[in-house]
Amino acid sequence: MPGRRWQETGAALAVVSALAVILFHAGTFHHGATAFSLAVGAVLLLAFAWLGRRSFLDPLALRRDGSPWWPALLGALWLSVLASWIQSPVGRAGEAVVLFLLPAAWAAAGIGRLFRSDAAVRWALAGCALVGVSASAWALAMQPLHEQGRAALPIGHHNQLALVLVAILPPAVLGAWRVTGPDRRRLRQGAVLFVGAVLVWTLAATGSMSGLAALVVQAVAAAAWILWRSRGRRLLVPLAALLALAAGLALATAWAGSRLDVPGPIGRLGAVLRLEDPSLLARRTYAEAAVSGFAERPLLGWGPGSTSWTLANHWRPAPGVHPPGEVVTDAHSLLAQAPYELGIAGAVLLLLLAARYGRLRLGELRDPRARDPELLAAALLGLTGAGVCLAFGVFAVVTAVPAVLILNLGLAAAASGTSSPACSRGSSDPRRERAAKRRPLDRWRQGLRLAFYLWLVAAVGWTWQRTSAARAYELVVAAETADAAAASEAADRDPSFPLYHVRLDPWTAAEAADGLAPLWLLAGVDQTVDVDRRRQALERACDLDPLSALAPFELMLLLREAGAAATDPRVAVRAARAILAEPLLLAAAAFEGDPDLRAELHGEIQSWPGLPPGWLAAFEELWFGLDWSNGHEDSPRDVLSVDADGRPAVSFSLFAFRRPPWPLSIGAVPLRSHRLDFVAAHDLPGVTRLPETAPEPFWTRRCGVE
DSSP string, 440-476: THHHHHHHHHHHHHHHHHHHHHHHHHHHHHHHHHHHH
Cβ atoms of 643 and 556 closer than 8 Å: no
Residue spans of the chain under pLDDT 70:
1-5, 65-66, 231-276, 394, 396, 417-442, 481-486, 649
On the 0-12 / 13-18 / 19+ scale of CB atoms within 10 A, 15 is buried
Of 541, 497, 536, which Cα lies nearest the Cα of 519?
541
Q: What is the dihedral of CA 126, 25, 335, 459, to 10 degrees?
A: -100
Q: Tell me, what DSSP letter sits at residue 588?
A: B
Rounded to whole angstroms, what are the CA distances from 177 to 124, 127, 171, 195, 411? 13, 12, 10, 10, 16
Cβ atoms of 265 and 251 closer than 8 Å: no
Q: How far does Cα 385 stand from its chain's mean position? A: 17
3-state secondary structure of 667: strand
In this structure, which amino acid lies at residue 259? R
Is the preceding peptide bond at 154 cis, omega within 30 degrees of 0? yes
Q: How far does Cα 396 stand from its chain's mean position? A: 4
In this structure, which amino acid lies at residue 665? S
Q: Check residue 562 and give its pLDDT.
A: 87
Distance CA 270, CA 498 (A): 42
What are residue 671's DSSP bridge partners? 588, 638
Distance CA 451, CA 370 (A): 33
Q: 478: part of which helix (H) or strand (E)? A: helix 441-479
Diameter over CA atoms, the chain: 100
DSSP for 190-219 reads HHHHHHHHHHHHHHHHHT-HHHHHHHHHHH
Cβ atoms of 515 and 310 closer than 8 Å: yes
For helices 373-391 and 158-179, what crossing angle results, to 10°?
170
Distance CA 61, CA 423 (A): 13
Distance CA 669, CA 243 (A): 60
Neighbouring C-alpha atoms within 13 Å toward the C-beta of 143: 18
Q: Check residue 258 and give its pLDDT.
A: 43
Neighbouring C-alpha atoms within 13 Å toward the C-beta of 391: 11
In sign, the C-alpha dihedral spanning 233, 238, 242, 247 is positive
Of 599, 523, 608, which Cα lies nearest the Cα of 567?
599
Q: Check residue 234 and give its pLDDT.
A: 57
Q: Check residue 441 and give its pLDDT.
A: 58
Distance CA 341, CA 94 (A): 10
Cβ atoms of 195 and 173 closer than 8 Å: yes
Distance CA 132, CA 171 (A): 10
Length of the chain: 706
Q: Check residue 421 and give its pLDDT.
A: 42
What are residue 670's DSSP bridge partners? 639
Distance CA 450, CA 444 (A): 10
Cβ atoms of 99 and 105 closer than 8 Å: no
Give the list of residues 6+ apart from residue 4 with CB closer than 8 angstroms, or none. 117
In sign, the C-alpha dihedral spanning 436, 437, 439, 442 is positive
Distance CA 156, CA 166 (A): 16
Cβ atoms of 434 and 398 closer than 8 Å: no
Distance CA 578, CA 331 (A): 28
